[in-house]
Amino acid sequence: MKLTAFSCCALACCAGTIAVQAYAQTAAGIPHLQKQGTATQLIVDGKPFLALTGELGNNTASSLENMQPIWAKLVAGNLNCVLAAVSWAQIEPEEGHFDFALVDGLIREARRNNLKLVFLWFGSWKNGLSSYPPLWVKQDYKRFPRIRIKGGKSIELLSTLGDASRDADARAFRALMRYIGEVDGEQHTVLMIQVENEVGVLRDSRDRSEPANRAFAGPVPKELMDYLQAHKDTLAPELREVWAANGFKTSGTWEQVFGPGKPDSVDMPIQTNSPPLSQEEYQTGWRKLHWPVDEIFMAWNYARYVNKVVTEGKAGYNIPMYVNGWLQQPNMAWPGTYPSGGPLPQVHDVWRAGAPAIDILAPDLYLQYFDEVCDRFTRNGNPLFIPETGANVANVLTAFGKYGAIGYSPFGIERSVSADSDLAAVYGVISEMVPMIAAHQGKDSITAVRLNQGDAPKSVRLGNYTLELTYTGRGRAPIAPQPAAQQAGGRGQQAPAAAPAGRGGRGGASQAPAEAAAILIAAGPDEFYMGGGGFRIAFTANTPGPATVGLGIVQEGKFADGKWVVVRQLGGDDIGQGEILTLRPNTILRVVVYRYE
């Protein structure tokens, strides 16, 4: 199948009549998800793909001209993939008239730069609101109804209860996916699709339009009740508590089953820190649920709508599809200050029940509680893909090493990407370790550790050993042990002269004290691979035998074509004369230990 220059304002057709056949879904190598232990991996052309990516600003990819200077920077920043928005307004400017020229050009340019793509479908919703549907949708507010918030006011936010909106969105999305399948079904440049963006009701806790009020006063749909009963023991604890508090009812209206919604007397501020919250409210409010029934009701209705869009899209071309959530947070703790009903952890079960076609529920992770959010987003086997976040090196290593992530993606990447950034350095480390990380994700032979300056050393059990990691940051590595100091606290003697601080070739030249982080892998009974850095690492054996653990082989290197390639064989000063293992920042080591007495 050839990539054709396909400017098809001329292709005046509705999705149902597009002459293009959907690409044979059985094609070898088509991107798909596959479980490995507790992790889920993205398989592309038969191999796990770790997406070292970034998300472009909302409108950055809206023309090829605007993208032109950006591609090379993404490559220089060690990205292997980029997230780019495709808007409904741009592909269907007139009802039934599709224009895929931009999509076509983005795929072509990505290939030229050896990058993969994840497209974001900005359809009915983006950050809750509906600014990306075409004008013909926006203008026809009777056919495509808006929600209403307290006081009966409508806002530019399509209601989930508008079947015509859902069907029109699904038709356009199916046409887009058919097109992508047609032009990319063999080369697999497009790996996944984000469907909509941060859906949910803003400015009130739920839709208060007349159809919504009617549905809210009616019974909880049987499909949802059945799902909750079938999964009672594994439901997210937050949801289970709400259901339990109301007596685990198996039928009834929404408020009978899940308790009362937001009272009419309460106004919804735009953010909950206006008027200011107390310190206690600020710290605890965002971890509690407020009027959960409103959020559960909206989650169900968004899930049903998006499920239809995804199902139609997959009928066009079946690659993994995910939705992303704007999270509850300290200054946005009440539903409606964050989009109410989005795919947040407290309502993941509602999304699973209402939208089985969706593959991944993904966090837009700007909170400082990175591990806590990852824990909540990997419950019940949800795959981890982080489409929006910051460029934090320790978070990158943690995501792939500890949480089996499919991908990591700082937002607004075109503004920060550069060859000598910390992000480029850590992406370089991971891309050189892909075969090893991919082989171990989801198993107990891999983990990641992070430590800040001043933190106590951390111990992790890995394979037959316990590794104790002590923060060294970007500091100099000791060239020889100092027995007294070691006994007192394991600190080695500092080098009198500057020791090499990492390989340097991967950039990341910042001088600030950095959080240390590394991925650690037990590849065999006595063999370890580790990437990242800023630690001294001591081994203790967990199995019977000689008590002392020595450094048998220490190599710096990388994987090329799946094979380990040694770049430096280390001894002497670089490993404290055989007694101090230091993993310097942005380094990959292979370490074989042995035991003696």
Residues within the interface to ligand DGJ (CB under 6 A): 58, 127, 197-198, 364, 388, 411
Closest to ligand DGJ by CB, 197 or 582? 197
Cα(205)–Cα(124) distance, integer angstroms: 19
Please state the closest distance from residue 402 (CB atom) to ligand DGJ, in A: 24
Task: Tell me the helices (H) and strands (E) count for the chain, helix number first.
Answer: 18, 23
CB atoms closer than 10 angstroms to residue 37? 14
Closest to ligand DGJ by CB, 343 or 502? 343
User: Does residue 440 sit in helix, strand or coil?
Assistant: helix
Cα(252)–Cα(435) distance, integer angstroms: 52
Residue where the block lists tokens 């198996």:
250
Closest to ligand DGJ by CB, 305 or 411? 411
Please state the closest distance from residue 412 (CB atom) to ligand DGJ, in A: 7
Closest to ligand DGJ by CB, 187 or 368? 368
Cα(15)–Cα(266) distance, integer angstroms: 44
Q: Which residue in 279, 346, 351, 296 sits closest to 321, CA to CA?
A: 351
Cα(177)–Cα(167) distance, integer angstroms: 15
Closest to ligand DGJ by CB, 128 or 533? 128
Q: What distances in angstroms separate CA 276 from CA 178, 338, 368, one per listed residue?
A: 49, 17, 21
SS3 assignment for 67-83 = HCCCHHHHHHCCCCEEE
For the record, the structure tokens of 41 come out as: 């991996």
Please state the closest distance from residue 120 (CB atom) to ligand DGJ, in A: 8
Write the DSSP symbol of residue 432: H
Write down the H helix ranges in 413-465.
413-416, 422-440
Closest to ligand DGJ by CB, 125 or 427? 125
Closest to ligand DGJ by CB, 165 or 329? 329
Closest to ligand DGJ by CB, 59 or 63? 59
Closest to ligand DGJ by CB, 349 or 364? 364
Contacts of residue 421, defined as CB under 8 A and 6 or more positions apart, other chains included, come to 77, 391, 507, 508
Closest to ligand DGJ by CB, 58 or 447? 58
For the record, the structure tokens of 100 come out as: 């895929």
Cα(486)–Cα(366) distance, integer angstroms: 39
Please state the closest distance from residue 187 (CB atom) to ligand DGJ, in A: 27
Closest to ligand DGJ by CB, 145 or 200? 200
The number of residues making up the chain comes to: 597
For the record, the structure tokens of 87 come out as: 């808007």
Determine contact, residues 371/386, Cβ cutoff 8 Å: no
Please state the closest distance from residue 411 (CB atom) to ligand DGJ, in A: 6
Please state the closest distance from residue 146 (CB atom) to ligand DGJ, in A: 21
If phi > 0 it is left, if psi is from -120 to 50 it is alpha, else beta; for residue 228 that is: alpha
Please state the closest distance from residue 57 (CB atom) to ligand DGJ, in A: 8
Please state the closest distance from residue 58 (CB atom) to ligand DGJ, in A: 5
Q: Which residue is nearest to ligand DGJ (CB)?
A: 198
Q: Which residue in 455, 457, 437 sits closest to 446, CA to CA?
A: 437
For the record, the structure tokens of 33 come out as: 């998800």
Please state the closest distance from residue 366 (CB atom) to ligand DGJ, in A: 7
For the record, the structure tokens of 572 come out as: 């002497």
Contacts of residue 400, defined as CB under 8 A and 6 or more positions apart, other chains included, come to 50, 408, 430, 437, 441, 448, 519
Closest to ligand DGJ by CB, 128 or 508? 128
Please state the closest distance from residue 68 (CB atom) to ligand DGJ, in A: 22
Please state the closest distance from residue 537 (CB atom) to ligand DGJ, in A: 37
Closest to ligand DGJ by CB, 58 or 382? 58
Pairing mode, if any, of strands 51-52 and 407-410? parallel
Closest to ligand DGJ by CB, 200 or 532? 200
Please state the closest distance from residue 189 (CB atom) to ligand DGJ, in A: 22
Determine contact, residues 563/572, Cβ cutoff 8 Å: no
Contacts of residue 398, defined as CB under 8 A and 6 or more positions apart, other chains included, come to 370, 371, 374, 448, 450, 517
Cα(230)–Cα(240) distance, integer angstroms: 12
Q: What is the CA radius of gyration of the chain?
A: 26
For the record, the structure tokens of 494 come out as: 């500092």
Please state the closest distance from residue 383 (CB atom) to ligand DGJ, in A: 19
Please state the closest distance from residue 363 (CB atom) to ligand DGJ, in A: 11
Q: Which residue in 447, 420, 455 sits closest to 530, CA to CA?
A: 447
